[in-house]
Chains A and B, each alone.
Chain A
Amino acid sequence: MSVESGVPVPGTEASTGESTAEVTLTFDQAAVDLDALQRSAYALAAELTADIRVRGGDYVCTLFRRRQDLTDDELKHRFRAEVNDQVLRARIARETEPLRNLVFALAFSRTGLSEAGETA
C-alpha cells in the first residue's frame, strides 16, 4: 500500500543509508490526506519532527531525526509505515462512523435493552 515516490529533494545527496541531516518523502495528494500526514508526524514526535509543504499535486515531507541512531532508510520506513496506518485508520473510521454513532446512541438511550446484561 505504498503511496509515495521517495524522490530526494533536488540538490542533496540521494539516500545511501548514512545519516544525513534531513530526509524527504513525497506523497500524492490524491492518495493521502494532509490529516494522515499530520497525525503521523504527531505520533512519531519522539523520533522525528516533520515539515510538510505542498508542491503541485504532492505533499513534500521533510523529516528531521531526533534520535541519532536512526538511518535515513529507517526514518523513511517509519514515516511511510505510519502514514499507511493513518490512512487505514481514517478509512476504517469513515466506514464505521455511522455504526459507532448508533452504538453510542443505543448505549445512552432509555430503550428496554438497556436493562439486559447489567446484572453482571
Chain B
Amino acid sequence: MIKLERTATLLSPHSWQLLPLRFHRLDADSVVLTSMVGEHEFVTPDELDAVVDGTCTDQELLARLRAVHLIQLPGERLPAELLAIKLRTRMRRLPDSTGLHIFVVTLRCEHTCRYCQVSRQPTAKNEFDMTEQTARQALELAFMSPSPHIKIEFQGGEPLLNFPLIRWITTEAKRMNKEHGKDLAFVIATNLALLDEEILDFCAAEDIYLSTSLDGPADLHNGNRRRPGQNSWDQAVAGIRLAQERLGMHKVSALVTTTAASLNRAAEIVDLYAELGLRGVFLRPISPYGFALRRRGGADYEVSQWLEFYEAGLDRVEELCSQGVPMMEIYASIIAKKMLSNTDPGYVDLTSPAGIGIGALVYNYDGDVYASDEGRMLAEMSDRTFRLGNVHDSSYADIMLSDSLLDPLMESVTLSAPMCSTCAFEPYCGADPVFHHTTAGNFLGHKALSAFCQRNMGVFTLLLRKMRDDPYFLDLMRQWAQ
C-alpha cells in the first residue's frame, strides 16, 4: 500500500526558490554552480535558465540541486540552517590567529638565485643576523597569538648560516611553551647545502621539518640557482636524501619555483620528485617581487603559459598515481579541501580575509615585523607598506591593530570585492593585498587585470573540468581533500 505517491514528492514548475547561488560558464555547454559554502554542481546553460525561471522539469537535476542547497521549497528552514553550520565550520579557524611565524634569522646566503626575492648578503657579514634579544622579543609576540597551533619557520638568506640561533629559538620556544601548552611545529626553509651531522642530529632530536627548493632536473635547477661551484642541484638532492634517511621521508618537503625555462618540462619535474620519494609536489608560479622584478629572468612568462605548465604537471601526477606511485600536487590538494570539505586548509596565500598578519607574521633579522613574507621583500625595495612595527618597541596590540594591517585586510576581503563577490569560485579563492598593491597600486586590485585572479581562475576551471570528466581524477581529489 502506497501512502505517499512519488509524484507528491516531486517538484512542479515554479514550486521551488533559489538559495544563494553563483555560476561560472566552463565551456559552451557546461556551467558550474556553487553554493555559499563551495559545494558545486554541473549543469547545461539551458538547465541553468530553467532552474532560475522555474520551468525545469528534470526531477533528477532538481533533486541534485536540493541536496547541495542551491534550491529549496518555500518555508523550509533546514537548508539555511545547514548552510549556516557549514559556513561557521569553514570560518572556524579565523579567531585562531596567528598560526605561522616566520623568523628571518639571517640575510646571508651563498647562492644567487635568479628569482630570489631576498636581498642577499655575502656569507661573512654578521650584522645581518638576528640576535637572541630580537628572537626573544619575537617569541614573546608569537606566543600571544590565540592559535592553539604555532608553526615556527626559519628563513633567510640561508638560515643554516645562523644555525646557533635556530637552535636557541627552538629550545627557548619549547621552554616558553611549557606555560602556554600550544602545539608547536618547526620547519627550516633551506637549500640543504650546509647540512651536517650536528644539524641533522638536532633536527632529529627536536622533530624539525626541512623544506627546500627543487626546481627540476639538474640543468633547470642549476640554471636558476647560481652557486659558487655550480653544484646546487647535486647539493640539494644529496641533502634531500640525507635528510630523508636521518629524519624520515615525511619530514622533508620541496617546492618548485617555475621560471620560463621550466615551462615545457613539467613532467620531468614531477618524475624527479617521484624518484626522490617526495610524495608532494607543489607547482607554484613565481611572484613578482624582489630580485625577480629587478631581473628579466624573473616573472618573464604569461599566466597562460604557466597554466599549461601546471596542467602538464598535474596530468603527470595523475598518471603516476594510476601506475601505483602515490603522488599529490599540493596546490590542487589545498583547493580540494576547499571544494570537497568544510575544512580550512590553513594556507595563508589563498584565504579571505587575507593571510597577512592573521595567518602569518614575519620577524625580520632586525626585529621589524611584517604582515607577510612578500611584505618584507617589498620593504627591501623601500616600500614599507606592510611593515607593522618592530619587536623591540611594538606591543602585540600595536602590531595586530595597526592600520597597516587592518586596512589591507578590510579592503581586500573577497566577499565585498568587485567581481569576487559574485564569483562562483569565491569560496575557493583568497585575497592577496600584497600582490595587488605591488602590481596595481591598491589592496584590492582590478580582478579583470589581475594575474592572481587569472591564475587562480585557470586552476579552478582546470580542476573542475577534470573532476567533471575524469572519475579517476575526482577520486584523487577526494583523497587529497582528506
Contacts and interface: CB of A to CB of B under 8 A. Distances in A.
Complex: A in contact with B (CB within 8 Å): yes
Interface of A: 1, 39, 42-46, 85, 88-89, 91-93, 95-96, 99-100, 102-108, 113-114, 116-118, 120
Interface stretch (B6-14, B83-91, B186-194, B470-478): B83-91
7 contacts: A89-B422, A92-B20, A92-B21, A103-B80, A103-B84, A118-B92, A120-B343
Given A42-B419, A45-B446, A88 B83 contact: no
Nearest to B415: A104
Contacts of B419: 42-43
Per DSSP, chain A at the interface is helix
Interface in B102-127: none
Contact of B17 (A42, A95, A120): A95
A113 B52 contact: no
A113 B422 CA distance: 28
A104 B87 CA distance: 8
A39 B420 CA distance: 12
Contact of A100 (B36, B52, B449): B36
Contact of A114 (B18, B23, B85): B85
A103 B18 contact: no
A93 B36 contact: no
Given A96-B18, A100-B20, A103-B83, A46 B448 contact: yes
* List of 5 A-B pairs having minimum Cβ-Cβ separation, nearest first: A106-B84, A117-B85, A107-B84, A45-B448, A100-B20
Contacts of B89: 117-118, 120
Interface in B404-455: 418-419, 422, 446, 448-449
B83 to A, nearest CB: 5
A1 B53 CA distance: 12
Nearest to B79: A99
A87 to B, nearest CB: 11
Interface residues of B, number: 32
B49 interface: yes
A99 B86 contact: no
Nearest to B419: A43
Contacts of B49: 1
B448 A103 contact: no
Given A43-B448, A44-B448, A100-B36, A93 B422 contact: yes
A100 B343 CA distance: 21
B141 interface: no
Contacts of B17: 95, 99
A39 B419 CA distance: 8
B448 A107 contact: no
B60 interface: no
Given A91-B52, A93-B422, A103-B20, A114 B88 contact: yes
Contacts of A114: 84-85, 88
Contacts of B82: 117
A106 B81 contact: yes
Contacts of B342: 120
B19 interface: yes
B343 A103 contact: no
Contacts of A106: 80-81, 83-84
Given A43-B448, A107-B87, A88 B81 contact: no
Contact of B449 (A39, A45, A102): A45
Nearest to B418: A42
Given A42-B418, A45-B449, A96-B19, A102 B85 contact: no
A15 to B, nearest CB: 22
A95 B18 contact: yes
B18 A118 contact: no
Contacts of A93: 422
